Structure 1
Amino acid sequence: MILRLGLPKGSLQESTFALFKRAGFNLAIRSRSYFPKVDDPELEVVLMRAQEIPRYVNEGVLDAGISGLDWIMENEADVVEVAELVYSKQTTNPIRMVLAVANDSDIKTVRDLQNKRIATELVRVTKNFLAAHGVQATVEYSYGATEVKVPNLVDAIADLTETGSSLKANNLRVIATILTSTPRLHANRAAWEDPWKREKLQNLSVLLEGALRADDKVGLKMNVPCRLLDDVLSVLPAMKHPTVSRLVNSDWVAVEVILDEKKVRDLIPALKRAGAEDLIEYPLNKVIP
């Protein structure tokens, strides 16, 4: 059997391919191709815009796909969420969909948008948000360059932001957050009811989530004299407990721990002072709890 999977082309493509590689799937694509080769004969991958993936999943053209929660909501897709995958184009942070106005605008709150004009790519999501706040406004589709339309063409925009740098560069001020969005592995309901496809999707989600969990974490090994073990353990943070193994015919032990990479710089000198020797730091591909 084959699982037909839609992956996002464009801004998320590079980070998605990197995530799949860490999960154990190698994707290769030629220029202008929309059908990457993958070293799993049970997967068929199609590249398309993230905006379209939930619709094709919902309609059964794709068994499953990865797209942001924002686009699932915009398409009003009735799909099964298999996993939340917290990554984005530049960082591992979620993106936000925000309402923004010019810095010198008189608009301060969502209610101030009554009878105003708003440009956005996510028209349904924006209209639903305004309706929930009792606000009626003209919401128009933006075909791009949304930030530059304020204030000469529209009063406000509803746009996605990861770092906020583009909004600041265009002298825009956020007045509300509509939603926080992360990529979701999602499936159409017929595929999810198929036992083989469900198991394939569950296996895929375990590997992808494991790869994300390993981000910014490393393994650390060291040898420690038994008499100094308590001193070393008092320095070590750990996901649960360090692994401690006695070395053969020796009064030394080997200690191994998984920890945040950002802590290692300060931790290694402290461990050395506590009596640890032969320290080895190594990267991780996956962490499966």
Structure 2
Amino acid sequence: MNILKLGLPKGSLEKATIQLFEKAGWRIKPAARNYFPKIDDSELDCSICRPQEMSRYVESGLLDAGITGKDWTMENQSEVVMVCDLVYSKVSNRPTRWVVAVSGDSDIRKIEDLEGKKISTELVGVTKRFFEERGINVEIEFSWGATEAKVVSGLADAIVEVTETETTIRAHGLRIIHELMESNTQLITNKKVWEDPWKREKIENIALLLQGALAADRVVGLKMNVPKGKVQKIVDVLPSLNAPTVASLYHTEWFSIETVITKDVVRDLVPQLKKLGAEGIIEYPLNKVI
């Protein structure tokens, strides 16, 4: 039997990744103190590893494919195939940012002011290349964690740290002076694996369903009953992916209208639909939109 070795990220993205796979159609059951969770797909063999290491394992062939951040693939300078972007996170479902931050009361206002200074970060390789390309001489020190505290305690003049909402950075009294790069989660695969017809199709199917699940997170289905004379007014105000579905109800002068819309318009749209004559309005979640 053909088997695809798939790496799943450990840490902050682990729970969100398992939830995304469940929405896409796979049930993953983590085991306590076990890095090999069970999945209800006999063609998949899953391993959990740190995102920082994922691209190296995929590049070497220890894993056929994996989910990791664009930042760590760049950090490792791994030669892998990026199959698709999967923009999700534990907080905001938007890309993360690596930023340069200093103490709020620091005289450092721009990256050029860091000449000769010490920077603490987990993203050593990317940070080093960034400053070298700009001819700014800095000392870069690897941080094992609690990076924000390095500036506060005087162990570094600045940090390069990842953020989604800037909450932790602000909580430590730090100030962002530059955005180094934007990153998001990606599905990557080994170059030789990508040339294997069966594995490539399996990976492409996984990508399709994961992206469909992510797309469904931003929309909902909306269904309602409308009298014949008010159908056009309702259709005129309904946004949709293509066009709403309109079907006549059996032996009546009423119609059923169904559409898919973004979540952010529902709260304003439903009262408007009610005023225009819609009844039995139902909003329902979607698992996938493909």
TM bucket (normalised to shorter chain) is: over 0.9
In the other structure, the counterpart of 2:240 is 238
Corresponding letter in the other structure for 1:255: I
In the other structure, the counterpart of 1:216 is 218
CA contact (8 A) 1:98 1:158 kept: yes
In the other structure, the counterpart of 1:253 is 255
Q: How does 1:161-180 map to 2 (within 5 A)?
A: 161-180=163-182
Unaligned runs of 5+ residues in structure 2 are: none
Percent identity reads 51
Please state how far the C-alpha of 1:235 moved relative to its aligned partner.
Answer: 2.2
Rounded Cα–Cα distance in structure 1 between residues aligned with 2:12 and 2:114:
30
Rounded Cα–Cα distance in structure 2 between residues aligned with 1:177 and 1:21:
34
CA contact (8 A) 1:79 1:186 kept: yes
Say yes or no: does 1:127 pair with 2:128.
Answer: yes
DSSP-derived class of the 1:136 partner: coil
Rounded Cα–Cα distance in structure 1 between residues aligned with 2:120 and 2:5:
34
Rounded Cα–Cα distance in structure 1 between residues aligned with 2:224 and 2:78:
51
Rounded Cα–Cα distance in structure 2 between residues aligned with 1:230 and 1:99:
54
Say yes or no: does 1:49 pair with 2:50.
Answer: yes
In the other structure, the counterpart of 2:117 is 116
Rounded Cα–Cα distance in structure 2 between residues aligned with 1:85 and 1:132:
29
Corresponding letter in the other structure for 1:202: E
Rounded Cα–Cα distance in structure 1 between residues aligned with 2:92 and 2:249:
41
Please state how far the C-alpha of 1:29 moved relative to its aligned partner.
Answer: 1.3
CA contact (8 A) 1:114 1:137 kept: yes
Unaligned runs of 5+ residues in structure 1 are: none
Q: How many residues align?
A: 288
Q: 2:161 aligns with which of 159, 162, 176?
A: 159
Corresponding letter in the other structure for 2:16: S
Please state how far the C-alpha of 1:50 moved relative to its aligned partner.
Answer: 0.6
TM-score using structure 1 length: 0.98
Q: How does 1:193-212 map to 2 (within 5 A)?
A: 193-212=195-214
In the other structure, the counterpart of 1:62 is 63
Corresponding letter in the other structure for 1:280: I
1:25-48: per-residue Cα shift (whole Å, max 9, x none)? 000012111000000000010001
In the other structure, the counterpart of 1:27 is 28
Rounded Cα–Cα distance in structure 1 between residues aligned with 2:111 and 2:59:
32
Rounded Cα–Cα distance in structure 1 between residues aligned with 2:135 and 2:209:
43
Say yes or no: does 1:72 pair with 2:79.
Answer: no
TM-score using structure 2 length: 0.97
Rounded Cα–Cα distance in structure 1 between residues aligned with 2:171 and 2:241:
40
Corresponding letter in the other structure for 2:24: A
Corresponding letter in the other structure for 2:281: L
DSSP-derived class of the 2:268 partner: helix
CA contact (8 A) 1:102 1:173 kept: yes
Rounded Cα–Cα distance in structure 1 between residues aligned with 2:267 and 2:172:
38
Please state how far the C-alpha of 1:265 moved relative to its aligned partner.
Answer: 2.0
Please state how far the C-alpha of 1:16 moved relative to its aligned partner.
Answer: 0.5
In the other structure, the counterpart of 2:97 is 96
Rounded Cα–Cα distance in structure 1 between residues aligned with 2:118 and 2:248:
70
Rounded Cα–Cα distance in structure 1 between residues aligned with 2:131 and 2:89:
26
Rounded Cα–Cα distance in structure 2 between residues aligned with 1:195 and 1:234:
46
Runs of 4+ in 1 over 6 A off after TM superposition: none
Corresponding letter in the other structure for 1:31: A
Q: 1:183 aligns with which of 182, 185, 194?
A: 185
1:54-99: per-residue Cα shift (whole Å, max 9, x none)? 1100111100100000000001000000010000111211110000
Q: 1:229 aligns with which of 206, 231, 251?
A: 231
Corresponding letter in the other structure for 2:245: T
Rounded Cα–Cα distance in structure 1 between residues aligned with 2:56 and 2:269:
48
Please state how far the C-alpha of 1:251 moved relative to its aligned partner.
Answer: 2.2
